[in-house]
Amino acid sequence: MSDQIEKVSIIISKGSLEGVYPGLIMANGARMEGIEATLFFTFFGLDAVIDKRMDHLKVATVGNPAMHIPTMVGGLPGMAAVATAKMKSEMEKLDIPPVREFIEMIHDTGAEIYACKATVDMFHLKKEDFCPQVDDIITVGEFYEKSAGASIIFT
């Protein structure tokens, strides 16, 4: 019995920058270590793989205690734009690619990328709405089948 992680399945359910990047970074790190990786996008996390939305993700400033600003201030016009620009600037300094490029890189390393069928149906989306890196739209049951033996990470 090996203590090495050989396979991870990462669920991304949030559609904000700070909700999407942890899963992408973990998937990329897994692939760099030779670990199999599957990404499963559900609920608002789908925005990260919807072709028309993935380049426009923002930092959530309202109700985000990690922002260390009052909710009312976070709701002021322009606050999300300022926070998003700051986060993107800091990530660029660390050579962390934009979402679209990061998803392309991760997929090119052999990671599998899936969209949740229940959420796709609920939001009335179609396969054509997604970036080309989405391998398929699958059910939760199919996700569990693909995740057999994997460590499941929910971000």
Q: What does the alpha-carbon distance between residue 134 and residue 154 come to, in Å, rounded to a whole number?
A: 19
Concatenated DSSP letters for 4-17? S--EEEEEE---SH
Q: What is the pTM of this model?
A: 0.90
User: What pLDDT shows up at residue 116?
Assistant: 98
What integer is the mean pLDDT of 29-49? 97
Write down the residue that tokens 């201030």 correspond to: 73
What integer is the mean pLDDT of 104-128? 98
- Taken in order of first residue, the domains within the chain and their CATH numbers are 7-58+98-154 (3.40.1260.10)
User: What pLDDT shows up at residue 1?
Assistant: 52
Least confident of 1-5, 110-114, 132-136, 141-145: 1-5
